Structure 1
Amino acid sequence: MTTLADPIRHRRRAASTNIIQKVALLLAVVLAVAAILAPLIAPFDPLDQSLISRLRPPIGFDRYSPGHLAGTDELGRDVFSRGLYGLRLTLALAFGGAVIGLGIGGLLGLIAGLRPGWAEDGIMALVDMQIAIPFTLVALLVLALLGSSLTVLIFVLGIAGWEQYARIVRAEVRRLASQPFIEAARAAGGGTAYIARRHLLPNIVSPLVVQFTLALSNIVILESTLSFLGLGVQPPTPSLGSMVGLGRDYMPTAPWIVLVPAGLIVLLTFTVQILGDWLRDRADVRLRDR
C-alpha cells in the first residue's frame, strides 16, 4: 500500500543520490586536472632526495619542513609531489589498460555474436577460463616471468576484464541481430562488416561506456596491488601502489607516507564507481524512468 510519505522519501533519496553524484563528478574533475597538471602543480621534483629532510611530518606538526605540505618520505622526497605524479601514472596505466581491454573484448564479443558456431564456442570458452581463474594470480605469474616493465604491466592490465566486454557485446549483438532494422539492412544487401559498423556498434556504445567506467576502478586497484607487491611500477618512479608498498614499513613512525597515496586510491575508486553507477542508471531506460 502506497502512503503519502513514499513519494517524499523517494524525492529525498533522489536528492541525496544527486548530491553524491555531483560530489563524485567534482572530485573526478579535480583528480583529473591534478594528474594532468602534475608537473605544474607539484612544488618539488618527485625524485629529488634530501636526507636532511627525511621523514618530516605534514604541515601543522612539529618538525615540519617548509614547503613539504604532506611531509617527506624515508629519502626526503616530497610526498605531495610524489602523490601527484603517482596519481598521473596510475591513471594513465588504468586508462590505457581499460582501452586495451575494451578493444580486445569488444572485437571478440562482436565476432562471437556475428559468427555462431565454432568461433563463438571458442571465444566463450576463453571467457569462461578467464572468469574461473583468479586474474591476480595470472598477473603475478606473467610479471614474474616477463619482468615488470611498463610495457608488460600495461599489457597485463589490458587483458584484465576483457571478458566482461566480450559478454556484453556478444549479448547485445545477438539481441540486435533479430531486430527489424538489421533484417532490413541485410535485405538491402548490407554485408556483415557494414551492418556491424553502421548499425550494431552505435547501439552498444552505451553499455560499453558504463562497463569501461566500472572496469577503470578495478584496474586502478589491480595496478596498485601489483605495485604494492613490487611487481608493478618499479622505484624510483612513483605510482600510488608503489608508494603504499614502500611506506608500509614506516607506518608506526611516519603514517603520512602511506595515508596520502592510499587516500588518493580511495578517492579515485570512489569517484569512478559512483560515476559508473550514474552512467548505468542513465543508460538503462527502466531505471531512468523510476
Structure 2
Amino acid sequence: MTHSIAVPATSLPATAYRLWRGADPIRKVAILIGVMLVVLAIFAPLIAPFDPNAQSLISRLRPPLGFERAKEGYLLGTDELGRDVLSRSLHGLQLTLMLAGLGATLGLLFGGTLGLLAGVVGGRTEATVMAAVDTQIAVPFTLVALFLLAILGSSIEVIVLVLGLAGWEQYARIVRGEVRRLMNMPFIEAARAAGAGPLRIARHHLLPNIVSPLVVQFTLSLSNIVLLESTLSFLGLGVQPPTATLGAMVGIGRDYMPSAPWIVVAPAMMILFITFAVQILGDWLRDGADVKLRAR
C-alpha cells in the first residue's frame, strides 16, 4: 500500500515561541508595537474619550495638553472642527486595519485560488491566469484604483473590493510556482497512484505545503494595502467624511500643518508604526519559514 509523505506540522505556539526567542531586539519591539496597535484598534470604542464625530467649533484647533490654549481632557488636541484628535485617531486606526485586513484576505483568496487552479490544471487555464498576472503587474494599480473608485463610488464595499484587487497577482504567482514544484514531488505521484483526484490532492497535499509562503506574503501585503488606503483617503477617494481613517485625517490636516501640526502627527505616526511593525513581522516570518535560512 502506498502512503503519501506529509510535511510534519509544528504547533503555532511552539513556532511562535521559537521565533520570539531567536528574534533580535528590533523585531521584538516591532512585535510589541503591532500587538499594541491591534489592541488599541479592537478596544477603540472603549478607549476613545469622546465621540470621534462630535464637533465643537468653540474648541477648534486646540493644541495637545501641556501647550498654551490646550483644553482639559483633549490629550492630543482638537482638529479644525473641534473634534478630539485622539478619539478620531483610535477609530481611524480601527477602520484602517479592518479595511487592510479585509483587502489582504480578499486578495489572498482571489489570487491564491487562481494560482492553485493554474498550477493544478495547467494548459490554457494556466496561460490565461498568468497573462492576467502580467497585465496586472504592467499597469500601475493606483491608476486602476482611482478609475474604479471614480466609476463605482467610495462606499466601504467598493473600497474593500479595490483593496482586495491590490496584490492578488503576487499570491497567484507564489501559489502557482509552489504548486508546479510540488506536483513533481514523490508524495504527489503516490497520491495520484492511489487514485486521489485533483481536488483531494489540492486540499490534502498542496495547500498544507504552501501555507508558510502565503502567510509571509499576507503580512507583507498588509503594509502596502495600508499605504494604498491612506493614499486614496488622502486624495479624497477613500472613506468619505465624517468617518475617520488615518489617511483621511492626514489628507485633511495637511492644510493646517503650519498652524496645527498635531492634527497630522498622530495619524501619520500610527501609519508609520503599522508599516514598520508589519514589514518587520514579514521578514521575521520569512526567516522562520525558510528552510534554507534556518539551515545556515
Aligned to 1:86: 92
Distance 1:289 1:265 in 2: 35
Aligned to 1:5: none
Aligned to 1:252: 258
Q: In the alignment, does 2:231 pair up with 1:228?
A: no
Superimposed CA distance per residue, residues 137-182 of structure 1 (whole angstroms, 9 cap, x where no aligned partner): 0000000011111110000000100000000000000000000000
Aligned to 1:111: 117
Distance 2:176 2:97 in 1: 28
Kindly provide the amino acid, as one letter, of the partner of residue 277 in structure 1.
D
Three-state SS of the structure 1 residue aligned to 2:98 is: helix
Kept in 1: contact 2:30–2:276 (CA 8 A): yes
Structure 2 residue runs without a partner (length 5+): 1-20
2:210 to 196, 200, 204: 204
Distance 2:168 2:156 in 1: 19
Q: In the alignment, does 2:48 pair up with 1:33?
A: no
Q: In the alignment, does 2:133 pair up with 1:127?
A: yes
Aligned to 1:56: 62
Deviation at 1:286, TM superposition (A): 1.4
Kept in 1: contact 2:116–2:176 (CA 8 A): yes
Kindly provide the amino acid, as one letter, of the partner of residue 237 in structure 2.
L
Deviation at 1:288, TM superposition (A): 2.0
Map 1:1-290 to 2 at 5 A: 18-290=24-296
Distance 1:286 1:53 in 2: 58
Kindly provide the amino acid, as one letter, of the partner of residue 193 in structure 1.
L
TM norm structure 1: 0.94
Deviation at 1:285, TM superposition (A): 1.3
Kept in 1: contact 2:288–2:294 (CA 8 A): yes
Kindly provide the amino acid, as one letter, of the partner of residue 198 in structure 2.
T
Deviation at 1:289, TM superposition (A): 2.9
The root-mean-square deviation of aligned C-alpha atoms, in Å, is 1.1
Three-state SS of the structure 2 residue aligned to 1:126 is: helix
Runs of 4+ in 1 over 3 A off after TM superposition: none
Distance 2:291 2:23 in 1: 18
Aligned to 1:9: none
| Number of residue pairs the alignment of both structures matches | 276
Distance 2:45 2:113 in 1: 36
TM norm structure 2: 0.92
Aligned to 1:12: none
Distance 1:24 1:108, change over 3 A: same
Fraction of identical pairs, as percent: 70
Kept in 1: contact 2:56–2:82 (CA 8 A): yes
Aligned to 2:16: none
Three-state SS of the structure 1 residue aligned to 2:219 is: helix
Deviation at 1:48, TM superposition (A): 0.5
Kept in 1: contact 2:23–2:284 (CA 8 A): no
Aligned to 1:10: none
Distance 2:23 2:140 in 1: 33
Kindly provide the amino acid, as one letter, of the partner of residue 77 in structure 1.
R
